[in-house]
C-alpha cells in the first residue's frame, strides 16, 4: 500500500445493545430486516383486504343470505382477547430480558406460546363448526372464499409466529440471551405484534363491521 | 473509437425501410381484408368510419407530430454530441465539471409538464365525447361472446314468440351484424365464459366483454361498408379465429334485412342447410358432444361412401354450444359446417353432403380442438 | 491499498472443492455471478421461445406451431424473460456491485442472500416444468376467468413457481435495503451514493410493496382453480376484473422494477465515459423516487378497455410519469454535453438505450391517451411498446452493465471489436423486429394470435419483424464468444480500466473476499474521482489527469484543493469515523473487532489484520 493518507477501513458491523449486528447508529440491522419483512406481509394482507372491500362494496346483501353465524361472541371474541393478551405477555417478556431477567423471559414466552396455541385451537374449532354445522366452506361463494382465505392466512401467520416463539423459547431455556444480546427476541416479538394487529383489523372488518 | 458513429443511424434505415414497404403497398389479394381497411399499414390511422372513431383518430396526428418533434430533438442532440464531443487524442484536461443548472432544470421540468397537461386535457375532452351515450339509440345490439364464437341479438326486433332476432356465427369468419348508417347504435356486451373483447379497427374502438358485467358503448357509423372485427382479449385456444363482420347499410336496406330476419326466425322448424335431402335418407350418424375438453363420443364414426349423411347431434354439455363440421367436406373442398349450432343441453340434426371414400376429420367449428374421425368406406 | 496485480490466490480454504464452494457460498460476489449466469441461461431459453413465435408469424398460415403450443409459448416467453431473466440479472448485478459501491464487505444478510438465489433455479424448474403438464396458455397476465378454467396443470406449477420467485425477490429487497441503509462507508451520505445504489434502493421498495400483492393474487387464483373459490367467478359473487386490479397493482410497479436498474446503469456509465459528473444528481434522485411512487398510482391504465375503471385519474398520473422520465433523459444529455465522449462498448449501449428507450417512452405517452388506447390496446402497438422498453431498454442496459463491470468481476476486459459487432447487430435487429409492430398495431393487428389473415396487409411487416428477431438472436453469438475468449485470456484489466468514479474501482479486479483493504474517503458521489483528481468544483482541474491512473497515486500538484485531507495522526475523539481516524478493521463482518487499533498505525494494522489467517468456517 502506498503512502495513502486519507483512507478509511471498510465499514464493518459493530456490536451494540440488543444484538449482534449494529451499524454505527440507528436501528439494529436484523431488526430493520424484520421490520421490512413485516412491511411486505402487510402488503400481502392489503391485497386480500382490498379484494374483500371491493367485493363487499359491490354486493348489495353482505354477508350474503343465510350467513348469519359469523358472530364476534362468544368464541371468536374470546380468541381475540387471548391473542391481545399474548401480545402483552410477549412485551412483558421483552421488558424482562432487557433488564437481564432470563426467568421472566422464559415465563413470558411460555405464556405467549400457550395463548397463541389456544387462539389457533379456537379458530380450528370454529372452522370445524362452520363446515359441519352450516356446510360453510371455502367454496361457499365469494364470501366463504374470502372468509377462509383471510382468516386462514392469518392463522398460518400465527403458526409461523408460534414457531418463532418456540425457537426463541428453546434458546432462552439454553440461556442464550442476555440484556445486551437478545435481538432475536425483539424481532420475533415485533412479528407477533404485527400478527395481533392484523387479527384486530380482521376481527373488526369481518366480525363487527360485517 | 469513433468509426462506429460515422455510420448513418441504423434505426433511421429501419424506419425508412418500413415506410418504403408500407407505402409501396403490399401484395394483398383483391377484396376486403378480413379486418381493417384495404390500405397497407402506415404511420397514420387507416380509414375510420364512425363519428366517435374519427374524433379519436383526429387526436392522433397532433400527438404524433409532437412525438416526432421530441424524437428528432433528442436523437438530433445525441448525434450532434457523438460527433462534437467525442474524445480526441489531444484532450488533456478534464472538461468543465458542470453539476447542474437551475434554469435549465426548471425548464425541462416545466415544459414537458405543460405539454403532457395539454395532452391530458385534449384527450379527456375527446374521451368525454367518445364515451357519451345517447338517450335513445336507434338500434341496440346485444353482443354475446363465448369460446370461440359470437352471437348477435337485436332486442328491438323479435319474432312471433317474443325472442329477439339472433345470429350466431359458424366457422372462423363468424356472424355478420347489419346496421343502419348515420344513426346511433348501442352495443351491449355479454360474456358467457371468459373475457373477450369486441374490436372493430375501423371504429377505432374496442370494449371488453366481461362475465358478470354488461359493458355498453354507442357508435354512429358514417358510411356504408363491411367492416371486419375480431376478439381482442386472449380467450383461449381459438382466440385467433373469433372474427365477425359489421355491415352498415342505408336505413331502408336495414329495415328490409331485419324484417326478413324476423320472418326467418318465425319459420318453424328452423330451415335445414343445403343438401336437399329429406331427413332419414342416406346414412344417419348419432354423436354426442360431451364438452370442450372431452370432445365427442364416439370419436370414430363410419359412413358409406357417396351417400348423404345425417348427423344427429346430442349436446348434453350444459356449458357450451356445439355443432358438427367436416374438414374439406364440401364438394368445392371447403369445410362443411353444420348449422344452426346446438345450444347447451339440446340437440340438432344436420344434413351433410355425400362424401367420397376416405378418412375425414370431423370437429366442432366453435371449439376446433374437439375432433373425431369420420371413416367413409366404399 | 492493493496494487494492480490481480490476485489469483484461491479464494477459499483448502479442503473445499470448487463445487461445494459454489453450492454453499454466502459471498455476495459469487452469489451475484450465480444469479447472472442463471439469468443468462433463461435469457437463451426465452429467446428460443421468441424465435419460435416469430418464425410462426413470419408468414400467414400455420406452418410449424399449432395454436395449442403457440399459446403456451407466448405466455412462457414473457414469464421467462421477466421473472427468470431480467429480474435475476439485475439482482445479480446489484448483488455483486452494490455492497462494493457502498464500501461494505458483504450484504447485510449473506445466508438469506444465498437462499434468495437458490429459490431462482427451483422456481425456474417448476415454471419450465409446466411445459410437461400442458404448459400455461393463459398469457403472463393470467386474466381470470380464463386462468381459472384453464385445465392444464401447468398453470398451477406456474403459480407455485411464481410464489417462490416472488419470495426470493422480497427477501432480496430486504437485503438490499438493509445493506444500503446500514452498511455504507463512512462519509457516504444518502446523497453521495452512486446512482446504481439509489435505483437499487427504490427498486427494492417497489419490490417490497408490490410483490406481496402479486403473491396474494396468485394464491387467490390457486384457490379459485383448485378449491372452488369464488374470488373471480361472477356466479359465486366474485368479479373477474378484481384479478386485473390485483395483478396490475403489482404489474405496474413491476415494469419500473424492470427499468429503474437500467436507468441506474446508464447513469453510472454516461458520466464515466463523458468524464463529467452526472448532471443534476439531486434531480435524478428525486426523479427516481417520484417514478417509484407514481408507479403505484397508474396500474389501471392497463385496464382502460374494461369499462370498469375511473379513466381520468389513471390517465392523468400516466401522463405525469413522463415528466420525471423526461428529466432523466435531459440529465443524461446534459451530462454528455461538453464532455469527452469515449465510445467504448458500454457507452455505445448506454447511448443506444437512450436513443431507443425514447421510442418506447413516447409509445407510452400515446397509450396514456385513453381514446387512443381504446384502439391499440391488445394490439401490436402494445407489443412494440413493451419490447422497446424491455429490449431496447432493459436488455441494452444489461449488456452495457456486463461490458462495464466484466473487468471488475473477472479481471478481464471484453473484446471491444466483438462488442461493437454485437452492439450493431442487436441495435439493428431490435429496430427491425419491433418498429414495424407500431404500424401493425395501428392497422388493427391484435396480439396473442398464432396466425393472421393473409389479406390483411400484414405479411411484409411481420416478415421484417421476424428477420429482426433472428438478428437479435445472432447478436448473442459474438457476445458468448467474447465471454469465452476473455475468460481464457489474460486477466489484466487492472483495478480501474475505465478511469471511473465510484468505489468498486478502488479495489482489485476481482476484489478480494472482503472487498477492500482500505477505502478512500467519501466526500462526494465520486470518491475515486476525487482521489485521482483532487476535488474539482465546476471548473477544470488545474492539472491534466491521465487516464488509467490507479487510485494509489494522488495529485501532488494541488493538495490544497483536496477536501477532507486529514492531518496525519489526527484522532477524532468523538469516535466519528472520518479520515484515517476510523477504527474499523478489515476483518469479516461478524468477527469481533480488533481491540484498540491505534489510529496512527492504522494502515499497517489493517494490512496485518488482512493477512491474519481466517478461522475455519468464517465466511470470506
Q: What is the pLDDT of residues A109-133, one digit of tens each?
A: 999 999 999 999 999 999 999 999 9
Q: Report pLDDT digits (tens) over C265-276.
A: 999 999 999 999
CB distance C295 to C263 below 8 Å: no
Helix axes C28-57, C110-129, angle to 10 degrees: 20
Domain assignment present for B23: no
Where do the H-state alpha helices sit in chain B?
Answer: 10-23, 51-84, 102-131, 251-266
Cβ count within 10 A of residue B256: 13
Cell of B7: 455510420
Contact at CB, A55 and C224, closer than 8 angstroms: no
Domain assignment present for C353: yes
Which residues, other chains included, contact C112 with Cβ-Cβ below 8 Å and sequence gap of 6+? A33, C171, C174, C175
Domain assignment present for C504: no
CATH number of residue C390's parent domain: 1.20.210.10
Contact at CB, C443 and B41, closer than 8 angstroms: yes
Facing A8 at nearest CB: one of C182, C229, C582? C582
| C169: closest CA of chain A, how far (Å) | 11
Domain assignment present for C620: no
Facing C108 at nearest CB: one of A8, A33, A40? A33
Asked whether residue B144 falls in the same domain as residue B206, the answer is: yes
- List of chain B residues whose C-beta atoms are within 8 Å of the C-beta of residue C455: 28-29, 31-34
Domain assignment present for C113: yes
Asked whether residue B121 falls in the same domain as residue B201, the answer is: no
DSSP state of C450: S
Asked whether residue B170 falls in the same domain as residue B220, the answer is: yes
Cell of A46: 392489503
Domain assignment present for B32: no
What pLDDT shows up at residue B334? 87
Domain assignment present for B21: no
What Å distances lie between residue C263 and B279, C90, C196, C199, CA to CA?
A: 72, 11, 8, 8
Catalytic-labelled residue, pool C30, C77, C192, C408: C77
What pLDDT shows up at residue A21? 44
- Using CA atoms in the order B285, B286, B291, B297, what is the torsion angle rounded to 10 degrees? -80
Hunting for cell 358514417 — which residue is that? B222
Domain assignment present for B317: yes
What pLDDT shows up at residue B8? 45
Q: Residue ranges of chain B with pLDDT lower than 50?
A: 1-8, 13, 20-32, 271-277
Asked whether residue B289 falls in the same domain as residue B221, the answer is: no
Measured CA angle at C114 (ends C111, C120), to 5 deg: 150
Determine how β-strand A19-22 pairs with β-strand B336-337. unpaired
What pLDDT shows up at residue C430? 98
* Greater pLDDT, B40 or C77: C77
Full DSSP string of B90-158:
T--SPPP-----HHHHHHHHHHHHHHHHHHHHHHHHHHHHHH---SS-SEEEEEEEETTEEEEEEEEEE
Q: Is C77 a catalytic residue?
A: yes
Q: Report pLDDT digits (tens) over C95-140.
A: 999 999 999 999 999 999 999 999 999 999 999 999 999 999 999 9
Q: How many domains does chain B have?
A: 3
CB distance B69 to C494 below 8 Å: no
Q: Report pLDDT digits (tens) over B54-103.
A: 999 999 999 999 999 999 999 999 999 999 999 988 888 889 898 888 99
Domain assignment present for B18: no
What Å distances lie between residue A36 and A26, A29, C28, C292, CA to CA?
A: 15, 11, 20, 17
- Kindly state whether C92 is in contact with chain A, defined as any CB-CB distance less than 8 angstroms: no
Domain assignment present for C328: yes
Would you put residue A18 in left (φ > 0), alpha (ψ -120 to 50) or beta?
left
Which residues, other chains included, contact A175 with Cβ-Cβ below 8 Å and sequence gap of 6+? A102
List the 506-535 stretch of C: residues with Cβ below 8 A of A.
Answer: 514-521, 531
- Kindly state whether B286 is in contact with chain C, defined as any CB-CB distance less than 8 angstroms: no
- List of chain C residues whose C-beta atoms are within 8 Å of the C-beta of residue B9: 355
Determine how β-strand B283-291 pairs with β-strand B295-297. antiparallel
Q: Is C385 a catalytic residue?
A: no
C-alpha to C-alpha distance for B87 and C343, rounded to whole angstroms: 8
Domain assignment present for B170: yes
- Kindly state whether C589 is in contact with chain B, defined as any CB-CB distance less than 8 angstroms: no
Q: Is C381 a catalytic residue?
A: no
Question: Mean per-residue pLDDT for C506-529?
Answer: 92
Closest CA to C413 of C365, C469, C367, C346: C346
What pLDDT shows up at residue A22? 43
- Kindly state whether C554 is in contact with chain B, defined as any CB-CB distance less than 8 angstroms: no
Determine how β-strand B300-304 pairs with β-strand B371-377. parallel
CATH number of residue B336's parent domain: 2.60.40.420
Question: Mean per-residue pLDDT for C484-499?
Answer: 95
What pLDDT shows up at residue B33? 58
**What confidence tier does C575 reach under pLDDT thresholds 50, 70, 90?**
very low
Contact at CB, B42 and C442, closer than 8 angstroms: yes
Considering chain B, what is the average pLDDT of its residues? 87
Q: Is C256 a catalytic residue?
A: yes
What Å distances lie between residue B66 and B14, B73, C377, CA to CA?
A: 21, 10, 21
**What confidence tier does C12 reach under pLDDT thresholds 50, 70, 90?**
low
Which residues, other chains included, contact A17 with Cβ-Cβ below 8 Å and sequence gap of 6+? A179, A180
Tell me the sheet residues that pair with B197. Answer: B208
What pLDDT shows up at residue C15? 67
**What confidence tier does C14 reach under pLDDT thresholds 50, 70, 90?**
low
Q: How many domains does chain C have?
A: 1
- List of chain B residues whose C-beta atoms are within 8 Å of the C-beta of residue C340: 85-88, 91, 94-95
Q: Is C499 a catalytic residue?
A: no
Chain centroid to Cα C166, Å, comes to 16
Task: Please give the residue of chain C at the shortest CA–CA distance from A26.
Answer: C182
What is the rounded radius of gyration, in angstroms, for the C-alpha atoms of chain B?
29
Question: Mean per-residue pLDDT for C472-499?
Answer: 96
Q: Which domains does chain A have, with CATH numbers?
A: 29-209 (1.20.120.80)
Tell me the sheet residues that pair with B283. Answer: B309
CB distance A143 to A64 below 8 Å: yes
Asked whether residue B159 falls in the same domain as residue B210, the answer is: yes
- Kindly state whether C560 is in contact with chain A, defined as any CB-CB distance less than 8 angstroms: no
Phi/psi at B243 (5° precision): -90, 165
Asked whether residue B128 falls in the same domain as residue B237, the answer is: no
- Kindly state whether B229 is in contact with chain C, defined as any CB-CB distance less than 8 angstroms: no
Sheet with B149-158, side-by-side order of all strands: B164-168, B149-158, B139-146, B184-191, B215-220
C-alpha to C-alpha distance for C354 and B295, rounded to whole angstroms: 52
Cell of C29: 460476489
What pLDDT shows up at residue B24? 39
What pLDDT shows up at residue A147? 95
Is the pLDDT confidence value at C543 over 80? no
- Kindly state whether C11 is in contact with chain B, defined as any CB-CB distance less than 8 angstroms: no
Range of the domain at B183: 139-266
Chain centroid to Cα C276, Å, comes to 23
Closest CA to C521 of C94, C191, C192: C192
Determine how β-strand B309-315 pairs with β-strand B346-352. antiparallel
- List of chain C residues whose C-beta atoms are within 8 Å of the C-beta of residue A64: 237
Catalytic-labelled residue, pool C54, C225, C245, C328: C328
Is the pLDDT confidence value at C551 over 50? no
Is the pLDDT confidence value at C204 over 50? yes
Q: 0.90 cut: is pTM over it?
A: no
Domain assignment present for B248: yes
What pLDDT shows up at residue A25? 75
Question: Percentage of chain A surpassing pLDDT 70?
Answer: 89
- Kindly state whether B2 is in contact with chain C, defined as any CB-CB distance less than 8 angstroms: yes
Closest CA to C514 of C210, C107, C53, C19: C107
Closest CA to A158 of A197, A125, A109, A207: A197
Range of the domain at C251: 18-488
C-alpha to C-alpha distance for A205 and A70, rounded to whole angstroms: 11
| B342: closest CA of chain C, how far (Å) | 22
Is the pLDDT confidence value at A188 over 90? yes
Question: Percentage of chain C surpassing pLDDT 90?
Answer: 80
**What confidence tier does C518 reach under pLDDT thresholds 50, 70, 90?**
confident
Q: Report pLDDT digits (tens) over C411-446.
A: 999 999 999 999 999 999 999 999 999 999 999 999
Where does residue C614 rank: exposed (0-12), middle (13-18), buried (19+ CB within 10 A)?
middle
Is the pLDDT confidence value at C403 over 60? yes
Would you put residue C282 in left (φ > 0), alpha (ψ -120 to 50) or beta?
alpha
Asked whether residue B243 falls in the same domain as residue B144, the answer is: yes
Full DSSP string of C479-530:
HHHHHHHHHHS-----S-TT---SGGGGS-SSPPTTS-SSB---SSS-HHHH
Cell of B344: 347447451
CB distance A38 to A191 below 8 Å: yes
Is the pLDDT confidence value at C572 over 70? no
Domain assignment present for B17: no
Considering chain C, what is the average pLDDT of its residues? 87
Chain centroid to Cα B158, Å, comes to 27
Domain assignment present for C246: yes
- Kindly state whether B195 is in contact with chain C, defined as any CB-CB distance less than 8 angstroms: yes
Q: Which of A149-158, C2-11, C294-303 bottoms out in mean pLDDT, i.e. has the lowest?
A: C2-11
Amino acid at each position: 500500500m502506498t503512502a495513502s493518507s486519507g483512507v478509511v477501513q471498510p465499514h464493518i458491523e459493530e456490536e451494540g445493545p440488543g444484538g449482534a449486528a449494529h451499524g454505527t447508529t440507528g436501528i439494529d440491522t436484523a431488526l430493520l430486516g424484520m421490520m421490512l419483512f413485516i412491511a411486505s406481509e402487510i402488503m400481502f394482507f392489503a391485497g386480500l383486504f382490498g379484494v374483500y372491500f371491493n367485493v363487499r362494496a359491490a354486493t348489495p346483501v353482505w354477508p350474503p343470505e343465510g350467513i348469519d353465524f359469523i358472530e364476534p361472541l362468544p368464541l371468536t371474541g374470546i380468541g381475540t382477547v387471548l391473542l391481545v393478551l399474548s401480545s402483552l405477555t410477549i412485551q412483558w417478556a421483552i421488558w424482562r430480558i432487557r433488564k437481564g431477567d432470563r426467568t421472566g423471559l422464559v415465563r413470558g414466552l411460555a405464556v405467549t406460546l400457550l395463548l397463541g396455541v389456544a387462539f389457533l385451537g379456537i379458530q380450528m374449532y370454529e372452522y370445524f363448526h362452520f363446515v359441519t354445522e352450516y356446510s360453510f366452506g371455502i367454496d361457499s361463494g365469494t364470501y366463504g372464499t374470502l372468509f377462509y382465505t383471510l382468516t386462514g392466512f392469518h392463522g398460518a401467520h400465527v403458526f409461523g409466529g408460534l414457531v418463532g416463539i418456540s425457537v426463541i423459547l428453546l434458546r432462552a431455556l439454553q440461556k442464550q440471551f442476555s440484556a445486551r444480546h437478545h435481538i432475536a427476541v425483539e424481532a420475533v416479538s415485533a412479528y407477533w405484534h404485527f400478527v395481533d394487529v392484523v387479527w384486530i383489523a380482521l376481527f373488526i372488518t369481518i366480525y363487527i363491521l360485517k | 473509437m469513433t468509426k462506429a458513429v460515422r455510420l448513418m443511424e441504423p434505426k433511421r434505415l429501419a424506419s425508412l425501410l418500413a415506410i418504403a414497404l408500407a407505402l409501396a403497398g403490399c401484395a394483398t389479394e383483391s377484396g376486403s381484408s378480413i379486418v381493417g381497411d384495404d390500405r397497407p399499414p402506415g404511420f397514420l390511422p387507416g380509414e375510420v368510419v364512425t363519428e366517435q372513431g374519427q374524433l379519436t383518430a383526429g387526436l392522433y396526428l397532433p400527438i404524433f407530430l409532437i412525438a416526432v418533434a421530441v424524437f428528432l430533438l433528442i436523437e438530433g442532440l445525441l448525434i450532434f454530441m457523438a460527433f462534437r464531443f467525442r474524445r480526441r487524442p489531444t484532450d488533456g484536461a478534464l472538461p468543465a465539471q458542470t453539476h447542474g443548472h437551475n434554469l435549465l432544470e426548471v425548464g425541462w421540468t416545466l415544459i414537458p409538464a405543460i405539454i403532457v397537461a395539454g395532452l391530458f386535457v385534449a384527450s379527456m375532452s375527446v374521451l368525454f365525447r367518445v364515451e357519451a351515450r345517447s338517450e335513445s339509440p336507434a338500434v341496440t345490439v346485444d353482443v354475446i361472446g363465448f369460446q370461440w364464437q359470437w352471437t348477435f341479438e337485436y332486442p328491438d326486433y323479435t319474432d312471433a314468440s317474443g325472442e329477439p332476432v339472433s345470429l350466431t356465427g359458424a366457422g372462423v369468419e363468424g356472424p355478420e351484424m347489419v346496421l343502419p348508417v348515420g344513426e346511433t347504435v348501442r352495443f351491449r356486451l355479454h360474456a358467457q365464459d371468459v373475457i373477450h373483447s369486441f374490436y372493430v379497427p375501423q371504429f377505432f374502438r374496442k370494449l371488453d366483454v366481461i362475465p358478470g358485467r354488461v359493458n355498453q358503448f354507442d357508435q354512429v357509423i358514417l358510411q356504408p361498408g363491411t367492416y371486419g372485427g375480431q376478439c381482442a382479449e386472449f380467450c383461449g385456444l381459438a382466440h385467433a379465429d373469433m372474427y365477425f363482420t359489421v355491415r352498415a347499410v342505408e336505413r331502408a336496406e336495414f329495415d328490409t334485412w331485419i324484417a326478413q330476419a324476423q320472418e326467418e326466425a318465425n319459420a318453424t322448424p328452423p330451415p335445414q342447410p343445403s343438401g336437399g335431402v329429406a331427413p332419414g335418407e342416406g346414412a344417419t350418424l348419432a354423436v354426442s358432444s360431451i364438452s370442450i375438453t372431452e370432445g365427442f363420443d364416439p370419436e370414430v364414426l363410419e359412413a358409406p361412401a357417396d351417400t348423404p349423411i345425417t348427423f344427429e347431434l346430442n349436446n348434453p354439455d350444459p356449458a357450451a354450444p356445439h355443432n358438427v363440421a367436416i374438414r374439406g367436406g364440401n364438394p368445392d373442398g371447403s369445410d362443411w359446417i353444420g348449422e344452426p349450432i346446438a345450444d347447451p343441453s339440446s340437440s340438432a340434426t344436420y344434413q351433410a353432403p355425400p362424401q367420397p371414400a376416405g378418412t375425414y376429420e370431423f370437429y366442432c367449428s366453435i371449439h376446433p380442438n374437439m375432433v373425431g374421425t369420420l371413416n367413409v368406406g366404399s | 491499498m492493493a496494487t494492480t496485480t490481480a490476485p489469483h490466490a484461491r479464494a477459499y480454504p483448502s479442503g473445499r472443492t470448487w463445487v461445494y464452494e459454489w453450492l454453499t457460498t454466502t459471498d455476495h460476489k459469487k452469489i451475484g455471478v450465480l444469479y447472472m449466469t442463471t439469468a443468462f441461461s433463461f435469457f437463451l431459453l426465452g429467446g428460443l421461445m421468441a424465435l419460435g413465435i416469430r418464425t410462426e408469424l413470419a408468414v400467414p398460415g400455420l406452418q410449424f406451431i399449432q395454436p395449442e403450443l403457440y399459446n403456451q409459448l407466448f405466455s412462457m416467453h414473457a414469464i421467462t424473460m421477466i421473472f427468470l431473466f431480467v429480474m435475476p440479472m439485475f439482482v445479480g448485478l446489484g448483488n455483486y456491485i452494490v455492497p462494493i459501491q457502498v464500501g461494505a464487505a458483504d450484504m447485510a444478510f449473506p445466508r438469506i442472500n444465498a437462499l434468495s438465489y437458490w429459490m431462482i433455479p427451483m422456481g425456474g424448474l417448476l415454471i419450465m416444468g409446466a411445459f410437461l403438464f400442458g404448459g400455461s396458455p393463459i398469457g403472463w397476465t393470467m386474466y381470470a376467468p380464463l386462468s381459472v378454467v384453464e385445465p392444464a396443470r401447468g398453470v398451477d406449477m406456474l403459480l407455485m413457481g411464481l410464489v417462490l420467485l416472488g419470495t426470493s425477490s422480497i427477501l432480496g429487497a430486504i437485503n438490499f435495503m438493509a445493506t444500503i441503509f446500514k452498511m455504507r462507508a463512512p462519509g457516504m451520505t444518502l446523497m453521495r451514493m452512486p446512482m446504481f445504489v439509489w435505483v437499487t434502493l427504490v427498486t427494492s421498495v417497489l419490490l417490497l410493496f408490490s410483490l406481496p400483492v402479486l403473491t396474494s393474487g396468485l394464491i387467490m387464483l390457486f384457490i379459485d382453480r383448485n378449491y372452488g373459490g369464488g374470488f373471480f367467478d361472477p356466479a359465486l359473487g366474485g368479479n373477474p376484473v378484481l384479478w386485473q386490479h390485483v395483478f396490475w397493482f403489482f404489474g405496474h410497479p413491476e415494469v419500473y422494477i424492470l427499468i429503474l436498474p437500467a436507468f441506474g446503469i446508464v447513469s453510472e456509465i454516461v458520466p464515466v465515459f463523458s468524464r463529467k459528473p452526472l448532471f443534476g444528481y439531486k434531480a435524478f434522485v428525486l426523479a427516481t423516487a417520484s417514478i417509484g411512487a407514481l408507479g403505484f398510482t397508474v396500474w389501471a391504465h392497463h385496464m382502460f378497455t374494461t369499462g370498469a375503471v375511473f379513466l381520468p385519474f389513471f390517465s392523468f398520473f400516466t401522463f405525469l410519469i413522463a415528466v420525471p422520465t423526461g428529466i432523466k433523459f435531459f440529465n443524461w444529455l446534459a451530462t454528455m454535453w461538453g464532455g469527452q465522449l469515449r465510445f467504448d462498448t458500454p457507452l455505445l449501449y448506454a447511448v443506444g438505450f437512450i436513443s431507443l428507450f425514447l421510442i418506447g417512452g413516447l409509445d407510452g405517452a400515446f397509450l396514456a391517451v385513453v381514446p387512443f388506447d381504446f384502439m391499440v390496446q391488445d394490439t401490436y402497438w402494445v407489443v412494440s411498446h413493451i419490447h422497446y422498453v424491455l429490449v431496447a431498454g432493459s436488455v441494452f442496459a444489461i449488456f452495457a452493465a456486463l461490458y462495464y463491470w466484466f473487468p471488475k468481476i473477472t479481471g478481464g476486459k471484453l473484446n471491444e471489436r466483438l462488442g461493437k459487432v454485437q452492439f450493431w447487430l442487436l441495435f439493428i435487429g431490435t429496430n427491425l423486429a419491433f418498429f414495424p409492430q407500431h404500424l401493425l398495431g395501428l392497422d388493427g393487428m391484435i396480439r396473442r394470435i398464432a396466425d393472421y389473415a393473409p389479406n390483411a396487409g400484414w405479411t411484409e411487416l411481420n416478415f421484417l419483424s421476424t428477420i429482426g428477431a433472428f438478428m437479435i438472436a445472432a447478436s448473442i453469438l459474438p457476445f458468448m464468444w467474447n465471454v469465452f475468449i476473455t475468460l481464457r485470456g489474460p486477466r489484466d484489466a487492472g483495478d480501474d480500466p475505465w478511469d471511473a468514479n465510484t468505489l468498486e474501482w478502488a479495489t482489485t479486479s476481482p476484489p478480494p473476499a472482503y472487498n477492500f483493504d482500505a477505502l478512500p474517503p467519501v466526500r462526494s458521489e465520486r470518491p475515486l474521482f476525487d482521489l485521482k483528481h483532487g476535488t474539482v468544483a465546476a471548473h477544470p482541474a488545474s492539472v491534466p489527469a491521465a487516464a488509467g491512473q490507479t487510485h494509489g497515486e494522488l495529485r501532488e500538484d494541488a493538495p490544497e484543493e483536496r477536501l477532507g485531507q486529514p492531518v496525519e495522526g489526527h484522532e477524532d475523539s468523538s469516535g466519528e469515523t472520518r479520515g484515517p481516524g476510523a477504527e474499523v478493521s478489515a476483518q469479516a463482518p461478524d468477527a469481533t473487532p480488533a481491540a484498540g487499533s491505534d489510529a496512527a498505525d492504522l494502515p499497517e494494522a489493517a494490512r496485518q489484520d488482512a493477512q491474519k489467517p481466517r478461522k475455519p468456517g468464517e465466511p470470506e
